[in-house]
Amino acid sequence: QVQLVESGGGLVQAGESLTLSCTASGRTLSGYSMGWFRQAPGQEREFVAAITWGGGTWSASTTFTADSVKGRFTGSRDNAKNTVYLQMNSLKREDTAVYYCAASTELLLHRLSAWNNYAYFGQGTQVTVSS
């Protein structure tokens, strides 16, 4: 069983940056690909970014992001700290949402954008961007 806890959310102005963290407990993230999703009020949960396991070597991991945040958001992981990150730059009002991290044993990169391919989920952290 993997427990995931997100942190780092908050209220920021448009154009500012935030870094979200997701730390695992219960077991290591060894072998898991990690994803970030978000859900705004009244909207469907949306894929944001994914970082593959890469065999435990960061340089071998693959990351990809949704088109809606490409060039602004970057996912990364520190396997030694059992933590994944989402660096969010140039935030916009439409980025306001609850952000969730999730863990998956899925190996196919294109399947990591689907919420139902993840086995474990965090409780989420609120990000609010004001203009």
Query: What spatial distance separates the first Cα and last Cα of the chain, rounded to whole Å?
Result: 40
28-80 confidence digits (pLDDT tens) = 888 999 999 999 999 999 999 999 887 666 566 788 899 999 999 999 999 88
Q: What is the enclosing helix (H) or strand (E) of 129? A: strand 125-130
Query: CB burial class (10 A; 0-12, 13-18, 19+) of residue 12?
Result: middle
103-112 confidence digits (pLDDT tens) = 999 878 889 9
Instruction: List Cα–Cα distances, 33 to 11, 26, 67, 83, 115, in angstroms.
Output: 28, 16, 20, 12, 12
69-81 confidence digits (pLDDT tens) = 999 999 999 988 9
Sheet holding 83-88, edge to edge: 3-7, 18-25, 83-88, 73-78
82-101 confidence digits (pLDDT tens) = 999 999 999 999 999 999 99
What is the model's pLDDT at position 126? 98
DSSP letters for 95-124:
G-EEEEEEEE----GGGGG-GGG-SEE---
What is the model's pLDDT at position 58? 58
Distance CA 81, CA 26 (A): 13
